[in-house]
């Protein structure tokens, strides 16, 4: 990476490390376990990054989507700044994970971050910048929904309508902003591989495969492990009963979801 890209990534790293520290000074909701305090702070920082990078990626796509599959032009200036923001965040979050968790607890997320940093950094190298490097940032739209859902879960809001909406928003954006972009990038890499150096093609191929597998597992967890389907059937059944009896749904629609232990989801 050139000096400008390194400076942007370094600034992003410093900002997010400062955010991690600053969140320690703010009050957190009443949580079940002391470790959940760190989880709350970590996910708050991740939520901020997801909002910034996800919104930035959508704005970029609105202006420069015609450049995504064009490998003959250099990236617009905003591309490098947007990608460098995420590089700095992933490095800062990796430090936070290593500082507060054992490697056994965080190795999956660390592998995710290492692969993301490697792919994004090589994609904005001077002279080899490709606009397709912005497409992976669309995944952060889904991450924002997942982080918001987890924050509700940590604060004990699992029996609210907001949590239900957040859960379904997470599933919908997983399909639209995570699986579809990953599939599109995989096809693009296959058909346009001649425009990439062999090493870059291999790195991006491994990265896309790894993140796709993690994303599919995440979708299965949301539907099966977290009981979205069962909760939907419960809600429909309660509404039918309420309509038949002429009364409200009672406590049936307020039963908590099956999430037993909050986990970081990216």
With cut-offs at 50, 70 and 90, classify the pLDDT of residue 245.
low
Q: What is the mean pLDDT of residues 127-144?
A: 85
Please say if the pLDDT value at position 96 is more than 90. Answer: yes
User: Mean pLDDT score of the chain, rounded to an integer?
Assistant: 81
Q: What is the mean pLDDT of residues 110-116?
A: 91
With cut-offs at 50, 70 and 90, classify the pLDDT of residue 25.
confident
Q: What is the mean pLDDT of residues 246-252?
A: 44
Please say if the pLDDT value at position 178 is more than 60. Answer: yes
Give the CB-side neighbour count of residue 21, counting CA atoms within 13 A: 8
* Close Cβ partners of 166 (under 8 Å, ≥ 6 residues apart): 145, 148, 149, 152
With cut-offs at 50, 70 and 90, classify the pLDDT of residue 249.
very low
Q: What is the mean pLDDT of residues 40-65?
A: 93
Q: Percent of the chain having pLDDT more than 70?
A: 78
Please say if the pLDDT value at position 186 is more than 60. Answer: yes
Domain residue spans in the chain? 3-254
Q: What is the mean pLDDT of residues 222-235?
A: 60
Please say if the pLDDT value at position 255 is more than 50. Answer: no
Determine the longest span between alpha carbons in the chain, in angstroms.
Answer: 69
Task: Work out the angle at residue 49's Cα, subtended by the Cα atoms of residues 63 and 206, and round it to the nearest 5 degrees.
Answer: 80
Write out the two tokens for 6.
């390194």
Give the CB-side neighbour count of residue 25, counting CA atoms within 13 A: 4
User: Counting beta carbons within 10 angstroms of the beta carbon of residue 88, is it exposed (0 to 12), middle (13 to 18) or buried (19 or more)?
Assistant: buried
Q: Which residue has the higher pLDDT, 219 or 100?
A: 100
Q: What is the mean pLDDT of residues 139-145?
A: 95
Please write down the long-range contacts of 90-98, taking CB distance under 8 Å and 24 or more positions apart: 90/116, 90/117, 90/120, 91/9, 91/13, 91/117, 92/12, 92/13, 92/16, 92/17, 92/20, 92/45, 93/16, 93/42, 93/45, 93/46, 93/49, 95/17, 96/17, 96/20, 96/42, 96/45, 97/42
With cut-offs at 50, 70 and 90, classify the pLDDT of residue 264.
low
What gap in Å lies between CA 178 and CA 176, rounded to an integer? 6
With cut-offs at 50, 70 and 90, classify the pLDDT of residue 230.
low
With cut-offs at 50, 70 and 90, classify the pLDDT of residue 11.
very high
* Close Cβ partners of 220 (under 8 Å, ≥ 6 residues apart): none
């Amino acid at each position: 990476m050139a000096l400008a890209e390194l400076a942007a990534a370094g600034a992003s790293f410093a900002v997010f490390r400062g955010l991690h520290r600053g969140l320690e000074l703010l009050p957190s909701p009443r949580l079940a376990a002391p470790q959940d305090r760190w989880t709350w702070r970590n996910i708050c920082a991740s939520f901020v990054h997801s909002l910034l990078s996800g919104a930035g990626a959508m704005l970029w796509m609105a202006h420069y989507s015609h450049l995504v599959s064009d490998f003959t032009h250099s990236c617009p200036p905003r591309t490098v700044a947007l990608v460098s923001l995420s590089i700095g965040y992933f490095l800062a979050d990796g430090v936070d994970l290593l500082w507060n968790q054992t490697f056994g607890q965080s190795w999956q997320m660390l592998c995710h971050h290492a692969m993301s940093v490697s792919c994004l950094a090589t994609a904005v190298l001077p002279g080899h910048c490709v606009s397709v490097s912005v497409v992976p940032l669309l995944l952060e739209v889904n991450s924002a929904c997942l982080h918001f859902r987890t924050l509700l879960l940590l604060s004990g809001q699992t029996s609210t309508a907001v949590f239900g909406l957040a859960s379904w928003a997470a599933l919908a954006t997983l399909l639209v902003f995570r699986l579809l972009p990953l599939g599109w990038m995989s096809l693009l890499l296959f058909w346009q591989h001649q425009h990439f150096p062999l090493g870059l093609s291999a790195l991006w191929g491994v990265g896309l495969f790894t993140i796709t597998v993690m994303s599919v597992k995440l979708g299965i967890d949301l539907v099966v492990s977290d009981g979205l389907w069962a909760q939907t059937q419960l809600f429909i059944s309660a509404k039918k009963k309420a309509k038949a009896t002429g009364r409200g749904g009672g406590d049936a629609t307020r039963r908590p979801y099956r999430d037993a232990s909050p986990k970081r989801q990216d």
